[in-house]
Structure 1
Amino acid sequence: MTTTTHFDTERIPLQQFSRQAYLDYAMYVIMDRALPHIGDGLKPVQRRIIYAMSELGLKATSKHKKSARTVGDVLGKFHPHGDTACYEAMVHMAQDFSYRYPLIDGQGNWGAPDDPKSFAAMRYTEARLSPFAEVLLAEIAMGTVQWVPNFDGTLKEPRLLPARLPNILLNGSTGIAVGMATDIPPHNLNEVVDACIHLIDHPKADTQALCSYIQGPDYPSGAEIITPREEIEQIYQAGKGIIRMRATHELENGDIVINALPHQVSPARILEQIAGQMAKKKLPMVADLRDESDHEEPIRLVIVPRSNRVDKEALMAHLFATTDLEKTFRVNLNLIGLDRKPGVKGLTTLLSEWIEFRTQTVKDRLGHRLEKVNQRLHILEGLLTAYLNIDEVIRIIRSEDQPKPVLMARFSLSDEQAEAILQLRLRHLAKLEEMKIRGEQEDLDKERQQLEKILGSEARLKTLIKKELRADAKTYGDQRRTAIVQREEAQAISEEQLAPVEPVTVILSANGWVRAAKGHEIEPEEASYRPGDRYLDAARGKSNQPVVFLDTTGRSYGLSAHTLPSARGYGEPLTGRFVLPPGATITAVLMAPSNRKLLMASDAGYGFITRFEDLVTRNTKGKAILTLPKGAQPLRPILFDDASGNLLAAVTNEGRMLVFPLNKLPALAKGKGNKIIQIPPKRARSREELLTHLILVPVEGTLVIHAGKRFFKLTYGNLSQYMGERGRRGKKLPRGFQNVDWLESQAPVQAPLDLGDTTDGQETES
């Protein structure tokens, strides 16, 4: 007796063992579980279910049988895995909302679009093959199948089913393997057949030519594909990409009725998403939501707008952007090819390989039939010899102990012919049988000649394949369910659009706290402030407008007015909303229409004209607008509408004033700007002389200069004594008015004040 010790055990490195074990597992999952084959478009478990049901006699014309019977046969004979996974694969092939052309006809609860996994247990449901399954099984007994041993070697199972149509494209497939996955969408049978016929006639046809027949995927749920045709063609060219689907809807008595959803989207999920937005008050324009789906209309979701004034198209665009009413699907044409290797294939390669598979299948079928015909003709030849020599044949059979060899020697018969003669029954010795034999010989001889012609001619073979494709398309084909349309990109309704539009006053305190009060009647200076804090600035506008804040470094920051806290409290610090540069503080707040112009300037004497929209930003670190010389500070911006004819008056702390047309300043989005008034560089660096006041004087308007309690007026014509070219030194104001406190501009005819477009105090001072 031999004893095995640990020295006799094979020892290999753990790394090598783990690597080999993982590779074996990966190849098993890829080849025998997750990826479909290009020939019949089935994974192994699907193929075994279909074959087992055919062996059980569960044809489309037979009675339904318990699903547990089928699952038991599949597990016991061909697929030694879990019954749950096997049954789920069977259910998937029976769901008409999952498969474009279901292979199984189920009876009982097989799930619903709301919950595809709500099917009953296999002991309750019954099933049989659908008529479409004949496409896979019709030629299985015609010499077209390569038979392989099952898992225990006791039975044979088909390696592939002899599919008469490219099921790989018709029903598609999804699966996750090791390191790869597949996502093949379903297609329309008629379109795929037309493309196959075109490719048979034109083997060098490109993807663009095939896409003239195959418009795109055709999902069982209907709905719409909104991916542009150019992108669809690129997907078929590369074998991978993204398909975007959108639900279809119609208007009915002012309500929105959704009647088709994207593939595998649950109506319950859509209702949950829309109801969630309604609960969060993000859909104030929706009054009610109902699910009126029934047996006649499987998908009928009703959205009731709050009034007839609601823009229904804008509402649906918002729902497309925020719910699964619009969904993307990955396309990855990854499958096992004829070379038994997985790979991503373009449409042309995929169909070409399937046509090659179908051509070989038809050749095998015809060859098998030709062999059967030749065998039968051989037997008929022997039988005819017996009828022509019936008396001698009877004598040999009656007199000889071993009649077969005697018959073979006497009439030059083969073993098969002699055996057929010996198996004849007496009632077949009638004279009419000879006529039947000769008639059968003639028919079989014609069939043999026809088979030999087809097998010997590539053109005839192609014609036969095309004829069979057209016949199957006529039997099983139907109209496209998924329309391919051009749609605009869906846009969600912003919070600004959802919020009610109302006048607001934004109040900024000296310590950088901000709040928003409803209406324009409030006096910001009289509002309550935190201890040690005070009023700094305010802006009036509407709740759907952006609010811009400016800091001491010349940067702008933006917020939405409706997001600001209520003025009932002290507000909140802007440092919680923005990231300010070190040492910077907020100095001003602005609200205006996006196209409103404004003058940006620094006390160093530089400035430019820009638009309000150039100041708006969502960046928490702000946006650099005004470039400041070293030590300079920004002046408060001046908002204005029309610059034609307006004069700009600039005054320094030394009492020098320069007046020039405003249009002499450049229009910039950002920067330092051009020189407004000349300040000697040495005095500017030492901050001895600064630009302190800027004001716009309208045409025929009046400029009022205030110094303490004294003031004097300069009419539009009298301003000429201070007029000069932009960037000049300016002229000294009269003695007693060189320490200017503030400037006032008076228009000849006071225009009504639009509180929604201006800021507090900008008409009178700067």
Structure 2
Amino acid sequence: MNLQANYEQIPLKEYAERAYLDYSMYVVLERALPFIGDGLKPVQRRIIYAMSELALGAQAKPKKSARTIGDVIGKFHPHGDSACYEAMVLMAQPFSYRYPLVDGHGNFGSPDDPKSFAAMRYTESRLTPIAEVLLSELGHGTTDWSPNFDGTLEEPTWLPARVPHVLLNGSMGIAVGMATDIPPHNLREVASACIRLLDDPDATIADLCEHVQGPDYPTAAEIITPRRELVAMYQTGTGSVRARAIYERDDSNIVITALPYQVSPSKILEQIAAQMRAKKLPMIEDLRDESDHENPIRLVIVPRSNRVDVDEMMQHLFATTDLEKSFRVNMNMIGLDDRPQVKDLRSILTEWLRFRTDTVTRRLNHRLGRVERRLHLLEALRIAYLNLDEVIRIVRTEEEPKPVLIARFRLDEEQADYILETKLRQLARLEEMKINEERDKLEEERARINVLLKSPAKLKSLIKDELRADAEKYGDERRSPLIERSVAQALDESALVASEPITVVVSQKGWVRAGKGHDIDGEALSYREGDSMLAIARARTTQQVAFIDSTGRAYATPAHTLPSARGNGEPLTGRFSPPSGARFDAVVAADNDTRIVLATDFGYGFVTRFEALTGRQKAGKQIISLSDGARVLGPAITADPSRDRIVVVTSEGHLLMFSVAELPELDKGKGNKLIEIPKAKLASGEERVVGVAVVAEGKGEVTMYAGARKLTLKWADLVEYGGNRATRGGVLPRGLRRVERIETSG
């Protein structure tokens, strides 16, 4: 016996390709993509048909959802009950479907958690009134029927939709190698566009967009996408739609009353709260959810004060949370040719109108056939009435009256059977009058149907009238207002930080930390073993802090990101990448437009804007050109360069004061000479500049330190050391000829 006779031997590559292709086509055609005719996926179609078979119309008493799902999976859809029930729940959620097809009783989820619906044994359901536009013509010969999965029943291949349902509720699905994202639309707008296309078959997409303004989601959130982008989306069948939440002011509070489609209130609260915990929303004091039955969406944001710019704050929230959300559009669907394709608006409506025309034609032909059959039977009754005695005689006397009737009155078998099955009470005179009246009405109806079938213009008029009637009966006003706005932009990071005073402390070994307030004594802090304070800078959390290394490169970082002074801080080399062997020598913090005096211990310096020190944070930027052996001094801030004075002190006790205006303003460089130092002393290192300070005209003081000695010079004392830039200056008293450092105040 040949055991291989029942097997087909093919290469594994060919088998895998064939199997995957079969699977792909099944997913595309039988699961993921909607059909353009009724806008439904197979599981949705089967649920609606099963509910109609269970007589669960809009006026019927609802039944347990488990009963419906049992019929669906037992008769038409042999898949998991949970997935099938979830598909039914989706059609019942008014926040998911623009025009729900299922009327759910019980817990069918909430906008906060759409998947929080109760089990199907607890809920009840029936069809909504608008489901009639899918089912009312089902028994009128308008659809093809195919066997169910086991061949015991038949199911409709599609439902005879009276409106373009594929656009009304949209669809989302992922197939193999393709996906669909069709947004929902307004029934009245879509019906109006169909009527326009019937009246003007040459109408362009721009013409149709005069009727279809844009998607219409179940929520009242604004659609802010510009009109030109919406038109382009309808021209290509792909694009995106951006929706934004609606808010209003209630006294000093902000109340959010509508959220974008499929955005949960709890997620919004979580996103805002996360920013508040990270101290990125200093302008918000409190956040509440006051949603209830009367107000399904009511999120309250409490600003910190009346000075908060509410519009600016909301723009930031739109940009950083799902209060503004973009939805992908990919109008991919199964066409009348049973092939998936991304279609533009005109193609969708044109193809659906072809589907609708065919459906109405089939409906009329089906009705015409029924009318003609009834007239055919009524003609047999008329003959019987005209020859009543003869008919009675034949029935009473003949053993086989049927062939005799056929031969005597030239009837067919159907007419003869109908006469023989007629009840005696129908032979009354009154019944004859009713039959004649029915025949007249049917003949009139037959004539009307024939006129419709022979006249394309009248058929179009009928389709338009039915579209208008359905749009009027089931349509409503647009929910998603179309308001063209620019995309929201997040606020700059510095604008989201509370402005608080801090003191930045840098150690000799390049460790940095920041303490709250401006009264921190850097010398009193604890340091790592072998380390000590190098410099401090008083700043605010909204400012940048700049560090200058021994090569003259500047690095900047936001002040609020520095570690707390409670610990030892962190090494600056973790934030920046200075050249090998470089050390950090100076620190300064200010606003971008503030002028800074930068100097070296060789006695050269210039004025620059603080912004010049920021920019390239990791690698830094070269600011000061250093001579061999020169060292960067601590920067000095000048509030008014035209009036402020600069004080320069050398290690030999020479002091010179001159106007800051005498220094050039540069973005980078070496600068000009500040004070005269003999070349020999400079070369040998005997004399260097120990510090520069800026004092305001008429006030301020400078303190010099030389070992245990110190000397404070007020404005009146400093005036005596005034002179021109690059001169030798005056000599300090004998005890301060070896100055180590200087400080300024006032």
TM-score tier, shorter chain, comes to: 0.7 to 0.9
Other-structure match for 1:752: none
The answer to whether the 8 Å contact 1:145/1:158 transfers is yes
Q: In terms of mean alpha carbon deviation, does 563-572 or 491-500 score higher?
A: 491-500
Farther off after superposition, 462-471 or 576-585: 576-585
Q: 1:147 to 1:604 in 2, by over 3 A?
A: farther
* Aligned: 1:197 with 2:198: no
Counterpart code for 1:374 = E
* Equivalent AA in structure 1 for residue 130 of structure 2: F
Which residue of structure 1 aligns with residue 102 of structure 2? Answer: 104
Equivalent position to 1:11, from 9, 13, 25: 9
Say if 1:41 and 1:169, in contact at 8 Å, map to a contact too.
yes
Question: CA offsets, 1:346-394, max 9 Å, x none?
Answer: 2222222222211211111122222222333333334333433434444
Cα distance in 1, alignment partners of residues 279 and 645 from structure 2: 49
Tell whether the 8 Å contact from 2:606 to 2:663 is kept in structure 1 after alignment: no
Aligned to 1:726: none
Indicate the residue corresponding to 2:157 in structure 1.
Answer: 159
8 A contact 1:556–1:617 mirrored in 2: no
1:439 is matched by which residue type in structure 2?
E
Tell me: CA distance 1:536–1:440, structure 2 relative to 1, closer, same or farther (3 Å): same
Structure 1 partner of 2:677: none
| Pair 62,591 (structure 1): closer, same or farther in 2 beyond 3 Å | same
Choose from 55, 58, 83 the match for 2:56.
58
2-structure distance, mates of 1:376, 1:627: 107
1:134 match: secondary structure: helix
Amino acid at match of 2:12: L
Task: Indicate the residue corresponding to 1:501 in structure 2.
Answer: 499
For the residue of structure 2 that corresponds to 1:175, the secondary structure is strand
Deviations 1:78-102 (Å, cap 9, x if unpaired)? 1111222222212221222222211
Change in CA separation of 1:601 and 1:409 when aligned onto 2, cut-off 3 Å:
farther
Q: 2:370 aligns with which of 369, 372, 388?
A: 372
Q: Report the aligned-residue RMSD.
A: 4.5
Farther-moved stretch of structure 1 (372-381 vs 147-156): 372-381
Aligned CA distance change for structure 1 residues 553 and 231 (closer, same or farther; 3 Å): farther
CA shift, 1:396, in A, is: 3.8
Q: CA deviation at 1:550?
A: 2.2
Map 1:217-296 → 2, pairs under 5 A: 217-278=215-276, 286-296=284-294
Looking at structure 1, the residues matched to 113 and 643 of structure 2 have their Cα atoms a distance apart, in angstroms, of 71
Letter paired with 1:193: A
Shift of 1:161: 0.2
What do the CA deviations read for 1:209-262 (whole angstroms, capped 9, x no partner)?
333322322222333333333333333333233333333333335443333333
Matched residue, 1:301? 299
Equivalents in 2 of 1:402, 1:120: separation in Å?
Answer: 65
Q: Distance in 2 between matches of 1:449 and 1:611?
A: 92
Structure 1 residues 86 and 553: CA distance shift in structure 2, 3 A: same
Partner of 2:179: 181
* 1:177-197 deviation digits (Å, cap 9, x = unpaired): 222222222222122222222
Cα distance change on mapping 1:282 and 1:603 into 2, 3 Å: closer
The answer to whether structure 1 residue 93 and structure 2 residue 115 are counterparts is no
2:143 paired residue number: 145
Q: Is the 8 A contact 2:721 2:730 kept in 1?
A: no
Query: Could you tell me which residue of structure 2 aligns to residue 363 of structure 1?
Result: 361
Distance 1:148 1:352 in 2: 26
**How do 1:468-479 residues align onto structure 2 when only pairs under 5 Å count?**
468-479=466-477
Is the Cα contact below 8 Å between 1:666 and 1:673 reproduced in 2?
no
Identity rate, percent:
57
The Cα shift of 1:589 comes to: 1.7
Kindly tell me the number of residue pairs found equivalent between the two proteins: 726
Distance apart, 1:626 and its partner CA = 5.5
Note the C-alpha offset of 1:9: 3.6
| 1:305 to partner: Cα distance | 4.5
Q: CA deviation at 1:547?
A: 0.7
1:509-524 equivalences under 5 Å are 509-522=507-520, 524=522
1:163: how far off?
Answer: 0.5
Partner-residue secondary structure (3-state), 2:590 = coil
Would you say the 8 A contact 1:226–1:487 is kept in 2? Answer: yes
Residue 343 of structure 1: aligned partner: 341
- Aligned residue for 1:373, secondary structure, equals helix
Return the offset for 1:565: 3.2
1:492-571 correspondence runs (5 A): 496-497=494-495, 499-522=497-520, 524=522, 530-567=528-565, 569-571=567-569
SS at match of 2:587: strand
Deviation at 1:501, TM superposition (A): 2.4
Quote the residue 2:453 is aligned against: 455
The 1-side partners of 2:572 and 2:729 are apart by 43
State the distance in 1 between where 2:45 and 2:729 align: 103
Who is 1:755 aligned against?
Answer: none
Paired with 1:358 and 1:735, the residues of 2 have a C-alpha distance of 102
How many angstroms does 1:649 deviate by? 12
Shift of 1:304: 4.2
What SS does the corresponding residue of 1:591 show, helix, strand or coil? strand
Judge conservation of contact 2:693–2:743 (CA < 8 Å) in 1: no
Cα 1:346–1:662 change in 2 (3 A) is farther
**Which deviates the most, 554-563 or 629-638?**
629-638
Change over 3 Å in CA distance of 1:92–1:415 after alignment to 2: same
Shift of 1:336: 1.2
Partner letter of residue 185 of structure 2? H
In the alignment, is residue 78 of structure 1 matched against residue 91 of structure 2? no
Q: 1:360 to 1:663 in 2, by over 3 A?
A: farther
- Aligned partner of 1:611 in structure 2 is 609
Return closer, same or farther for 1:664/1:366 CA change in 2, 3 Å cut-off: farther
1:541 touches 1:592 (CA, 8 Å); kept in 2? yes
Deviation of residue 48 (structure 1)? 0.7
- Which has the higher mean CA deviation after the structures are superposed, 272-281 or 19-28? 272-281
C-alpha change, 1:141 and 1:551, in structure 2 (3 Å) is same
Deviations 1:329-354 (A, max 9, x none): 33222221111111222222222222
Q: Which residue of 1 aligns with 2:406?
A: 408
Match of 2:426 in 1: 428
Instruction: Please list every run of 5 or more consecutive structure 1 residues that lacks an aligned counterpart in the other structure.
Output: 678-682, 723-729, 745-759
Tell me the CA shift for residue 522 of structure 1.
4.9
Residue by residue over 1:638-676, the C-alpha shift from the partner in whole angstroms, topping out at 9 and shown as x without a partner, is 6545666999999999x9x9x9996995765xx658998
CA distance in 1, matches of 2:606, 2:406: 117
How far apart are residue 416 of structure 1 and its match?
3.2
Amino acid at match of 2:329: V
Matched residues in 1 for 2:202 and 2:600: separation?
71
Moved more, 156-165 or 182-191: 182-191
| Structure 1 residue 467, shift from structure 2 partner | 0.9
Distance 1:573 1:455, change over 3 A: same
Distance 2:34 2:720 in 1: 89
Matched residue, 1:127 = 125
User: Per the alignment, do residues 339 and 602 of structure 1 end up closer, same or farther by CA in structure 2, a change over 3 Å counting?
Assistant: farther
> What code does the residue aligned with 1:38 have?
I
TM superposition shift of 1:153: 1.2
After superposition, the Cα gap between the structure-2 partners of 1:542 and 1:110, relative to the gap in structure 1 and judged at 3 Å, is closer
